[in-house]
């Protein structure tokens, strides 16, 4: 009973990935903005933030990890992920240089399995105002060559102070979460374009999606016609629910609740397979985040099945069906760090 109680205490932190990783920055924004006579959601410019903005490309992310940080391994993990399906091999952490003693989170794998995007912050205990301007917290990318991952490189998506995360990439377009000047909310969804070898032309996804629909972390189907997202918007079953909005004549329509998978618990961080037949998502299970899958049969989503439990969340699959996900390490009720894991699909 003690372990179950412990998990219930920490799940409030883990099951809200955006809140978990961006809440510090939202608080930072409040701290920094208070007392300033600026327009709503306008972030202040300070000497420290200017310096961070100018130097952020040059900083090695590992240099910001505390010297006394201890890398958690599967052998020392108090709450390792548990596999509940015989379709997959046992989950294992991705090797260095992907995972470090810092926190790797919000993984997104491309269908070919050769490019990995993720969010990184060096220290989950760092004060919010320092995380905002540490020069390394943000979105990274690594590519696989000869079965080895390259050293992750930071993707810069702003010319000013901002914190970006939860990347979703489709072709030459990236959708991502961001705390920055000009938002409709504390955390908005933005879109960037890959052009001339770099990500640029970033823009807010707009009032309809951010303010009216209140979209959270998302996935867009390969045909570009459906956008699945999580949200605590009105009309749900409780906590985060998974919703879908469909694009008709270039306009996103009123979201529909995916009732077949939603419960009074939190359901979020959706992923749709390339064939559109499987919906993967995160749900609270026995007091901690777990990964579930729902299959579409005759156009209807079916009862979800548990695939991986115990601090496993935010699934992203390649075309072969390998599951990339985030695992958070907890000890004595405190989050220590986070790693990206993979559970490979068995070859029949």
What does the pLDDT look like over 127-144, one tens digit per residue?
656 777 899 999 999 999
Residue 277: C-alpha distances to residues 84, 206, 221, 274, 312 (Å)? 20, 29, 11, 8, 22
Residues 6+ apart with CB under 8 A from 129: 28, 31, 32
* Mean local confidence (pLDDT), 15-37: 36
77: which 2 tokens? 């993990």
* Mean local confidence (pLDDT), 96-118: 98
Residues 6+ apart with CB under 8 A from 154: 56, 57, 61, 136, 138, 139, 140
In the chain, where the domains are located: 2-343
* Mean local confidence (pLDDT), 37-46: 38
Whether residue 97 is preceded by a cis peptide bond, meaning omega within 30 degrees of 0, is yes
User: For residue 173, what pLDDT is reported?
Assistant: 98
DSSP structural state of residue 152: P
Maximum alpha-carbon separation in the chain: 64
pLDDT at residue 94 greater than cutoff 80: yes
Give the lowest-confidence range in 58-62, 120-124, 135-139, 154-158: 58-62
User: For residue 127, what pLDDT is reported?
Assistant: 67
The count of other CB atoms within 10 Å of the CB of residue 28 is 22
pLDDT tens for each residue of 245-282:
999 999 999 999 999 999 998 999 999 999 999 999 99
Q: Are 330 and 336 in contact (CB under 8 A)?
A: yes
User: For residue 251, what pLDDT is reported?
Assistant: 97
Banded model confidence at residue 92, pLDDT cuts 50, 70, 90: very high
User: For residue 333, what pLDDT is reported?
Assistant: 87
For residues 46-66, b (16+ Cβ closer than 10 Å) or e, as one string?
eeebeebbeebeeeebbebbe
Say which residue, 1 or 193, is predicted with more confidence: 193
In residues, how long is the chain? 348
* Mean local confidence (pLDDT), 56-76: 88
Q: Is the dihedral of CA 252, 318, 155, 179 positive or negative?
A: positive
* CATH class for the region spanning 2-343: mainly beta
pLDDT at residue 153 greater than cutoff 80: yes
């Amino acid at each position: 009973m003690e372990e179950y109680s412990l998990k219930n205490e920490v799940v409030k932190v883990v099951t809200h990935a955006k809140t978990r990783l961006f809440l510090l920055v939202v608080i930072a924004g409040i701290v920094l903005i208070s007392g300033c006579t600026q327009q709503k959601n306008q972030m202040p410019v300070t000497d420290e933030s200017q310096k961070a903005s100018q130097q952020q490309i040059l900083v090695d992310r590992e240099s910001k990890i505390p010297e006394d940080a201890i890398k958690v391994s599967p052998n020392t993990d108090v709450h390792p992920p548990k596999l509940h399906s015989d379709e997959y091999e046992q989950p294992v952490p991705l090797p260095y240089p992907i995972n470090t003693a810092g926190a790797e989170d919000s993984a997104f794998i491309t269908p070919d399995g050769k490019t990995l995007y993720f969010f990184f912050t060096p220290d989950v205990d760092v004060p919010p105002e320092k995380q905002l301007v540490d020069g390394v917290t943000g979105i990274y990318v690594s590519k696989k060559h000869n079965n080895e991952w390259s050293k992750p490189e930071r993707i810069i998506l702003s010319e000013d102070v901002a914190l970006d995360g939860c990347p979703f990439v489709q072709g030459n377009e990236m959708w991502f979460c961001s705390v920055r000047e000009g938002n409709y909310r504390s955390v908005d969804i933005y879109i960037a374009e890959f052009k001339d070898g770099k990500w640029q032309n970033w823009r807010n996804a707009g009032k309809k999606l951010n303010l009216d629909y209140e979209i959270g972390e998302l996935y867009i189907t390969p045909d570009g016609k459906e956008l699945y997202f999580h949200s605590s918007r009105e009309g749900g079953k409780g906590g985060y629910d998974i919703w879908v909005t469909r694009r008709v004549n270039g306009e996103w329509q009123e979201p529909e609740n995916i009732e077949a998978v939603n419960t009074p618990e939190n359901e979020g961080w959706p992923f749709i397979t390339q064939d559109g037949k499987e919906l993967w998502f995160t749900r609270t299970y026995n007091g901690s985040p777990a990964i579930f899958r729902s299959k579409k049969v005759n156009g209807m989503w079916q009862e979800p099945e548990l695939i991986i439990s115990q601090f496993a969340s935010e699934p992203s699959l390649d075309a072969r069906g390998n599951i990339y996900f985030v695992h958070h390490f907890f000890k004595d009720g405190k989050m220590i760090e986070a790693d990206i894991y993979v559970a490979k699909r068995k070859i029949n």
